[in-house]
Amino acid sequence: MLTVTARFATTADVAILEELYSELENEMVALKPVWRLTDGLPEPVGASLVAAIAAEDSDVIVGELDGVAVGLLIWREVDLLPQAGGEQIGVIQVIFTSPEARHVGVGEAMIDSILEAAKGRGIDLFDAVVPPGHREAKNFFESHGFKARRIVMHRDDT
């Protein structure tokens, strides 16, 4: 029986998180060549991960299968209307599970842990970005109660 867990990342996890992020980046660039520039983490990735781990308004979650890190989730809190003291929304910036560890509950464990933590902070609105053509990610989020509320169109004339 496989043991699936999710936990908050520490700076000791940065090296393995960079490896997982590299896997994610390769997968996403194949779907959307400009992903690295439009949706990826700022370079250097290790420093971006350390900042997300340390920040009060974001968290990084490590998904594990039998104690081995195979998943990564990064989320942050965003003010909907900062000038009006608006509600907070939790934005899942990155979620990734290594292909060989998919469909066994790692993604579910990571998303469940972050939704629980966010709700503990009083956040009950959540967004996640899914690139066009990534049906597996779309289906994953829909299975957790997410619904599309807008489609952003893009044109690249380079």
Question: For every residue of the chain, which 3-state class applies, written as one string?
Answer: CCCEEEEECCHHHHHHHHHHHHHHHHHHHHHCCCHHHHCCCCCCHHHHHHHHHHCCCEEEEEEEECCEEEEEEEEEEEECCHHHCCCEEEEEEEEEECHHHCCCCHHHHHHHHHHHHHHHCCCCCEEECCCCCCHHHHHHHHCCCCCCCCCCCCCCCC
Predicted local confidence at residue 111, as pLDDT: 95
pLDDT the model gives residue 81: 64
pLDDT of residue 88: 86
> What residue segments make up the domains of the chain, in order of their start?
4-142
pLDDT of residue 84: 54
Residue 132's pLDDT is 74
**Cβ burial, residue 7 (10 Å; 0-12/13-18/19+):** middle
- Would you write out the chain's pLDDT as a tens digit for each of its 158 residues? 889 999 999 999 999 999 999 999 999 888 888 878 888 888 899 999 999 999 999 999 999 999 999 999 999 998 876 555 678 889 999 999 999 999 999 999 999 999 999 988 889 889 998 877 788 888 999 999 999 877 777 677 76
pLDDT value of residue 85 = 62
* pTM for this prediction: 0.88
CATH superfamily of 4-142: Gcn5-related N-acetyltransferase (GNAT) (3.40.630.30)
